[in-house]
Chains A and B, each alone.
Chain A
Amino acid sequence: MADISNKTEGLADLLLGSEAIGRGALEGGVNVVASYPGNPSTEITEAIRQVAEKMNIYVEWSVNEKVAVETAAAASFAGLRGLSAMKQNGLNVALDFVSGISTSGSNGGLVLVVCDDPSGITSTSEQDSRPLARSLDFPLLEPGTFQEAKDMTRFGLELSEKIGRMVLFRSATRLQHARGRTLLGSLPEEKRKAHFDTSKQYVAFPSLPRHVEAKERMAQAKELCKDSAFNVYEGPENPDLLIITCGSCYLYALDAMNLLGLWDRVGILKIGTVWPLPDDLIKTHMAKNSRILVLEEVEPFLEGNLKELAVEWAADVSMPTFFGRRTGPLSDTGELNPDIIITALTEILELTYEARPPAYDQQAKAMVEKLVPPRSLALCAGCPHRASYWAIKNAEVLDTRDGFVTGDIGCYSFGLFPSGYSIMKTEQAMGSGPGVGYGFGKLGQFDMQQPVVAVVGDGTFYHGALPALVSAVNNQSNLTLVVLDNGATAMTGFQPHPGTGLDAFGHPAKPVLIEDICKSLGVRVEIIDPYDSEAATQKVLDFMNDEQQGPRVLIMRQQCALQMARSGKLYDVWVDQEKCVGEDCGCNRYCSRAFKCPGIMWDAQAQKARIDEAICVGCGVCAQVCRHEAILLKPLKAVQGKDS
């Protein structure tokens, strides 16, 4: 990551959207940053963390998003500036507090950055967070460029402090994960001290008068944003068509305008202060345009609000024809891109456009169809989750009662797909594996006979599984909970969690162990190494058949294979091709087709299995899977004890 603490004002830096937001927070004098990792938001906090110690900023990876916003809010109440960053799913976790602070108000500048994920590329939804700004009375900023991502973060902190209300800042995947030229501003010299003014209260009740006050503060925000430089018009005085856009769609629109050569007939009004809207500016442009195309991710939020204004102004502004994600021609689902916008513009303006010669286009597409295999995402070679799922799958087969797995969010979500044997049958939210599993565990009175195994990752256990586990003890739910413990929040880049024993900076912290929590609840808890395939299978079977009332917790503990790849192989692994029976094995090639570790390849020439040494991490599980003892192991270091 880039070092975002460079003091050279005016320097052109190449920053990730995430880094630009981090830099903007520094320029805005942020003191406290508390977040929970989740793509595409993770790198904002990561970028600030890397420079935090030298700049006396407090950064933490909180246990979940609600605690993160509460931590940043406490800083604000004490007169400091705070920021919290999360993905859209995380905002839902924090929402109860977010709703409360919308009425209680805040003090020092406070910004909540929410990073939406159009098309749900790394998410369970493509939820649009923006309508919350309207329903809960928060100003909403949405950057269209890297420069704006930086400048708006600073502006958001300042605006929040002026109006005594948290500001929502909405980014999206495409800006977060892209780099662009950004001119650096100055870093503040001011050093704030934390002090809570006890003559004040930040309370959400009584809610009605607080709501009235929130509306007044929004009116103040509207006044402060009405001439904002984040709202810009580019184009001719009286265009044939006006594009009104916000966020990452702005740059796509520029691409489309350039390729179609539309600068003399189409104008672009880019809105950065998306709620409350700059009414006067919009009215001026609406009056001059009879056709308006609205470009935004994902819901028609801007489009709906513009139409509402058009209705209000019907007496003095003639009603334009609108195009957008509600009216069409754009779809109301999925991420936009330059191609989709080009198509929409050619349709509305009745143009023709060829990206490349039609014969070439056909040939290129036919070539991909013929030669290019799909590249599905898969659990990494040697991933302990695969080993755990293999054990659970085999235990379910041996059990014969048609058992199944409830799960949730993390690398182990690959249990949804062939790579994880499609073993996971429910998956919704952080911690919902245990929560839904707990619910199934109470269905005995309705004659439910199937054993249910709930799985949860170690990070997710702390984040969202504890209430379900406590309920399971309290209500005696017949729950088998398997914790897939790889020691870190692996999916988002190995951030520490409460069990890791490290803080965000890698300094020692007091670990809160999953087994200790379970013991304190009086729950049967055992730890097993999923790489020990047969023992793990038997243990899962034993847990599934435990006659005791209430939950039991099996911790399958083994470090993440990406860590293993760095720390060195446990075994040298190879295939004795004399012993390998190839296509004649079990389910044809049992090791590669059934076990599916990408470290096992098919040697087409020899018609035998082969280990791909480049990606094998030497976990040794496949040697236990092979029924012909053709996969051989040589231990490379002392294999650790099975119970840690």
Chain B
Amino acid sequence: MTKHALQKDPLNAIITGVGGQGNVLMAQLFGRALTDKGFAVTVGDTYGAAQRGGPVSSHLRISKQTLYSPLTPSGQADIIISLEPVEALRVLGGWGNPGVVVISNTRPSYPFDVTSGGADYPALADITAAAEELAQKTLFIDASEIALEMGAPVLTNTIMSGLAVGLDLFPITADDFIAVLKNQFDDKKFNLNHSAFQKGLDLAASNKWSD
């Protein structure tokens, strides 16, 4: 299969996280790269007052033929990419199915309900076990740690983007995505994001799916 062939039509990806983590921009960049390759793409953002700590998901609907709605019907996700581990589970609960693949950052962002004492946050081992049980395959990586090593936690989303492209989750090449990054950022920010994206590609080469 060539890099630009669509394995399923529509291909439904949900990119999720918490307000401020950058998943909305990440979905937009994927949407743009795919549009530039001639796909009919819809990117639907679902959130409330997103910057105030709520969950945010972007629904990417990718097709060769027609435009799909900005909301993926329940149980119909093919790909889940999460910047926060319990948010991967939240989306899996609603949109998962036996064929879905999940990649997720492992760094928790604690909900207000947890920090103010009303709810518990599950252990990472329980999160990954639950995801493995419900998904066809999963990959959990501490992308935030790598971003922090690079000096900027905001790069987490770009590292995860590199991981997704490296794992061939989307019908685009690394160069397609890099072209969009170049268009999006000034030189300084582009260079940072480019190396973060490369780290993500490297992670894809050096890590294995859990089935």
Residues of chain A having any CB pair with chain B under 8 Å? 12-14, 121-122, 145-146, 174-175, 177-181, 248, 251-252, 254-256, 259, 337-339, 342, 355-357, 360-361, 363-365, 367-368, 371-380, 411, 414, 418-419, 491, 562, 588-589, 592-593, 596, 598, 600-602, 612, 614
Q: Which of A355, A377, A598 makes the CB contact (< 8 A) with B49?
A: A377
Contact B117 A375 (CB under 8 A): no
Residues of chain B having any CB pair with chain A under 8 Å? 18, 28, 31-32, 35, 38, 40-49, 51-55, 66-76, 86-87, 89-90, 92-94, 96-98, 110-117, 119-122, 126-127, 130, 133-134, 153
User: Considering the chains assembled together, what is the distance between the CA atoms of A593 and B32 in angstroms?
Assistant: 43
User: Considering the chains assembled together, what is the distance between the CA atoms of A256 and B74 in angstroms?
Assistant: 11
Q: Which of A14, A121, A363 makes the CB contact (< 8 A) with B48?
A: A121
Contact A601 B110 (CB under 8 A): yes
Contact B111 A602 (CB under 8 A): no
Contact A179 B43 (CB under 8 A): yes
Contact B42 A342 (CB under 8 A): no
Residues of A within 8 Å of B122, CB to CB, are 371-373
Contact B93 A365 (CB under 8 A): yes
User: Considering the chains assembled together, what is the distance between the CA atoms of A236 and B127 in angstroms?
Assistant: 48
Residues of A within 8 Å of B38, CB to CB, are 12
Contact B31 A14 (CB under 8 A): yes
Given A255-B69, A377-B54, A612-B110; A360-B48 close (CB under 8 Å): no
**Which A residue sits closest to B130, measured CB to CB?**
A367
**Which A residue sits closest to B60, measured CB to CB?**
A179
User: Considering the chains assembled together, what is the distance between the CA atoms of A365 and B130 in angstroms?
Assistant: 12
**Which B residue sits closest to A609, measured CB to CB?**
B115
Contact A178 B44 (CB under 8 A): yes
Q: A-B pairs with the 10 shortest C-beta distances?
A: A355-B75, A178-B70, A368-B93, A251-B69, A378-B112, A356-B75, A373-B119, A375-B111, A178-B44, A179-B43
Contact B76 A596 (CB under 8 A): no
Question: 26 A-B residue contacts at CB 8 Å?
Answer: A14-B35, A174-B44, A174-B70, A178-B70, A251-B42, A254-B69, A255-B71, A338-B69, A339-B74, A356-B97, A360-B96, A368-B94, A371-B127, A372-B90, A373-B114, A377-B48, A377-B49, A377-B52, A380-B51, A380-B53, A418-B116, A419-B116, A491-B49, A598-B110, A612-B110, A612-B115
CB distance from B140 to the nearest CB of A (A): 14
CB distance from A621 to the nearest CB of B (A): 15
Main secondary structure of the interface of A (DSSP, over half): mixed
Contact B52 A364 (CB under 8 A): no
Residues of B within 8 Å of A252, CB to CB, are 69, 71
Given A122-B49, A379-B52; A360-B98 close (CB under 8 Å): yes
Contact B97 A373 (CB under 8 A): no
User: Considering the chains assembled together, what is the distance between the CA atoms of A367 and B133 in angstroms?
Assistant: 10
Given A178-B44, A251-B69; A13-B35 close (CB under 8 Å): yes
CB distance from B121 to the nearest CB of A (A): 6
Q: Which of B53, B67, B71, B75 makes the CB contact (< 8 A) with A361?
A: B75
Given A14-B35, A180-B41, A180-B42; A339-B48 close (CB under 8 Å): no
User: Considering the chains assembled together, what is the distance between the CA atoms of A419 and B113 in angstroms?
Assistant: 9
**Which B residue sits closest to A593, measured CB to CB?**
B117
The number of residue pairs between A and B whose CB atoms lie closer than 8 Å in the complex comes to 189
Contact A342 B35 (CB under 8 A): no
Contact B111 A374 (CB under 8 A): yes
**Which A residue sits closest to B67, measured CB to CB?**
A180
User: Considering the chains assembled together, what is the distance between the CA atoms of A179 and B28 in angstroms?
Assistant: 8
Contact A374 B67 (CB under 8 A): no
Contact A562 B51 (CB under 8 A): yes
CB distance from A585 to the nearest CB of B (A): 12
User: Considering the chains assembled together, what is the distance between the CA atoms of A166 and B122 in angstroms?
Assistant: 55
Given A360-B134, A363-B134, A375-B53; A174-B115 close (CB under 8 Å): no
Interface centre among A372, A418, A596 (most CB of B within 10 A): A372
Residues of B within 8 Å of A364, CB to CB, are 92-94, 96, 134
Given A14-B41, A380-B51, A596-B116; A614-B153 close (CB under 8 Å): yes
User: Considering the chains assembled together, what is the distance between the CA atoms of A251 and B73 in angstroms?
Assistant: 12
**Which B residue sits closest to A417, measured CB to CB?**
B112
User: Considering the chains assembled together, what is the distance between the CA atoms of A414 and B76 in angstroms?
Assistant: 34
Given A337-B71, A360-B97; A375-B130 close (CB under 8 Å): no
Residues of B within 8 Å of A181, CB to CB, are 35, 40-42, 67
Contact A592 B115 (CB under 8 A): yes
Residues of B within 8 Å of A255, CB to CB, are 68-69, 71, 73
Q: Which of A179, A338, A614 makes the CB contact (< 8 A) with B71?
A: A338
Q: With A356-B74, A373-B122 given, name 10 new contacts (CB 8 A).
A: A178-B44, A251-B42, A254-B68, A364-B96, A374-B113, A375-B87, A414-B52, A592-B115, A593-B117, A602-B114
Contact A357 B98 (CB under 8 A): yes
Residues of B within 8 Å of A418, CB to CB, are 116
Given A179-B43, A371-B130; A259-B96 close (CB under 8 Å): no
Residues of B within 8 Å of A614, CB to CB, are 153
Residues of B within 8 Å of A360, CB to CB, are 96-98, 134
Contact B93 A372 (CB under 8 A): yes
Given A589-B117, A600-B115; A375-B55 close (CB under 8 Å): yes
Contact B110 A12 (CB under 8 A): no
Residues of A within 8 Å of B42, CB to CB, are 178-181, 251
Contact A598 B68 (CB under 8 A): no
User: Considering the chains assembled together, what is the distance between the CA atoms of A588 and B118 in angstroms?
Assistant: 12
Contact A356 B98 (CB under 8 A): yes
Residues of A within 8 Å of B67, CB to CB, are 145-146, 180-181, 251, 254
CB distance from B148 to the nearest CB of A (A): 9
Contact B117 A592 (CB under 8 A): yes
Q: Which of B28, B46, B49, B112 makes the CB contact (< 8 A) with A596?
A: B112
Contact B134 A367 (CB under 8 A): yes
Residues of A within 8 Å of B48, CB to CB, are 121-122, 377
Q: Which of A178, A367, A374, A380 makes the CB contact (< 8 A) with B45?
A: A178
CB distance from A13 to the nearest CB of B (A): 7
Residues of B within 8 Å of A342, CB to CB, are 73
Residues of B within 8 Å of A251, CB to CB, are 42, 67-70
